[in-house]
Amino acid sequence: MSNDTTRLFGLNGVAVVGVEVADDDIPMLALVTCDEQARCCPGCGVRSERPHSWVCTRPRDLPVAGRRTGLAWTKRRWRCLNQQCRRMTFTESLPGIPPRSRLTSRLRTSIGEAVANGRRTVVQSARDHEVSWPVANAAFTTAAQAALPKDTPPVTHLGIDETRRGKAKFRLVEGPDGGEVWEVVADRWHVGLVDLSGGAGLLGQVEGHTAASVSSWIDKQSALWRAGVQVVAIDMCTVFKAAVRDSLPHARLVVDRFHVAQLANAAVTEVRRRVTVQHRGRRGRKGNREWELPNRLTRSAARMHADHLDPMVADLKALPKQIGEPILAAWNCKEDLMDLLALHGTNPDRTTICRLLTAFYESAAASGLPELERLATTVSTWWPQILAAITTGVTNAASEGINRAIKTDARCAYGYRNPVNQRRRARCATTRRARGHPATRTSGRHAQPRKPSI
């Protein structure tokens, strides 16, 4: 049975025999079965010739032409003639309308793909499709299982970074000296492993900020996958370092230069705050020039205009000696380290690296500032990994970008209670481009033009 309305409706196995508009202006489509396979018993596969009764169901479906549409599917219940089959009767069912389902398959698919590929939350998808949250979440779970790859794709450059699940919780307990101290009650983390070279995005997440949890995920991969990892990028975290040395001993370990620069800027900030409190007896405030320069002090001099750089140095020299000289010494030492990190990815020779590294160590030692001595000690401890980052040009920026997407997804969902759901949502949110669903902006400065219609 075929007609224009049936072809427009487009649900295989059923035919539209009538359309009525109800009082609430919702079209009601009368459907009948037109697929002979629906008469086959789902238990034994034998085709039945004896009808039992008529049944009418009203499954939900996608809107038609932008209007919500009701369905009334009149189908038959059949008797199974196979004596060896446990089923006495069965009702007609189709792939598009499964047995005992109140939703069509394409509606469930649309609900799940809106979350997995459309950057919507489960609540948004449920509201748009007028279903409950459990139904929408189940549809998303099915869509995610079908969309995400079963096996971890091979990678050559692996990035590891962590994100915190919510806020840490503390409680007051009795300390060893009889006083009260704060004890951490809950501090949950997710460690993400990212493909830095192939564009596969987030490969997986493990719960817990420990070397054992990271090593467990790596050890579950195939021996061929582990052998293909050549470089692992991390921040200056001993937990990740221990996990990589345990599970990927052949891989070259590099430290992301951003975290080294961040540590240097933190040292400058600590010096500025300490000398201000020591000299003025209070924290800095408006009118204190050292308090008004934090943003310029933490910027790289190579990226500053002379109209900003020269006045900043002059302002530091004009401050009292007890304040200006330590801050200027810390800033100069930080710039020596930034010059060293600027060699990242330029294939520098060993002579240049040694010269700039020596200049940084000499500047830190000559300053006599404990913050800079601690910074130099940290750089010395992690120098093999920092050197590997400079010579290879590998960065962990992709992991930081994926962390931002994970946090944005969590904010849109107003947080998660179920870690499994959070990992599934994060994986879908960070692998859309790898799965052929690039983010498309429809408004704003970066809106992408629409393709011309043919």
Cβ neighbors of 27 (< 8 A, separation 6 or more) are 19, 20, 21, 64, 67, 69, 70
The answer to the question of residue 410 being in a domain is: no
HSE-up of residue 89 (Cα within 13 Å, Cβ side)? 10
Q: 337 with 360: CB under 8 angstroms?
A: yes
Phi then psi for 81, rounded to 5 degrees?
Answer: -90, -5
Expressed as residue numbers, the domain containing 264 is 257-392
Same domain for 108 and 97, yes or no, is: no
Q: Give me the long-range contacts of 433-438 (CB less than 8 A, separation at least 24).
A: 433/199, 433/201, 434/199, 434/200, 434/201, 435/117, 435/147, 437/117
Same domain for 267 and 352, yes or no, is: yes
The answer to the question of residue 59 being in a domain is: yes
Same domain for 91 and 115, yes or no, is: no
Residue 121, token pair as written in the block: 């939350």
Smallest Cα–Cα separation from 256: which of 231, 229, 235? 235
Using the structure block, give the residue that is written with the tokens 């060699």.
Answer: 343
Same domain for 386 and 297, yes or no, is: yes
Same domain for 178 and 271, yes or no, is: no
Count of structural domains, the chain: 4
Distance CA(327)–CA(348), nearest Å, equals 30
For residue 275, give the 3-state DSSP assignment: helix
Instruction: Supply the Cα-derived Rg of the chain in whole angstroms.
Output: 32
Same domain for 133 and 180, yes or no, is: no
Same domain for 362 and 342, yes or no, is: yes
Phi then psi for 422, rounded to 5 degrees?
Answer: -65, -45
Smallest Cα–Cα separation from 337: which of 255, 392, 251, 237? 255
**Per-residue confidence of the chain (454 residues) as pLDDT tens digits?**
568 888 888 899 999 999 888 777 888 999 999 988 899 998 898 999 899 999 999 999 999 888 888 999 999 999 998 888 988 899 999 999 999 899 999 999 999 999 998 889 999 999 999 999 999 999 999 999 999 988 999 999 999 999 988 777 888 888 888 788 888 777 788 999 999 988 889 999 998 888 999 999 999 999 999 999 999 999 999 999 999 999 999 999 999 999 999 999 999 999 999 998 888 888 878 877 778 888 888 888 888 888 888 888 888 888 888 888 999 999 999 999 999 999 998 889 999 999 999 999 999 999 999 999 999 999 999 999 999 999 999 999 999 999 999 999 999 988 888 899 999 999 999 988 888 776 545 444 544 444 444 4
Supply the DSSP symbol for 301.
G
HEC letters along 24-53: CCCEEEEEEECCHHHHECCCCCCECCEEEE
Same domain for 292 and 358, yes or no, is: yes
Same domain for 143 and 174, yes or no, is: no
Neighbour count for residue 443 (Cβ, 10 Å): 6
Angle between helix axes 383-392 and 350-367 (nearest 10 degrees) is 140
- Overall pTM > 0.95: no
Phi then psi for 179, rounded to 5 degrees?
Answer: -85, -175
Same domain for 272 and 241, yes or no, is: no
Beta strands 157-164; 231-234: pairing state: parallel
The answer to the question of residue 441 being in a domain is: no
Smallest Cα–Cα separation from 233: which of 398, 349, 405? 398
Q: 193 with 226: CB under 8 angstroms?
A: no
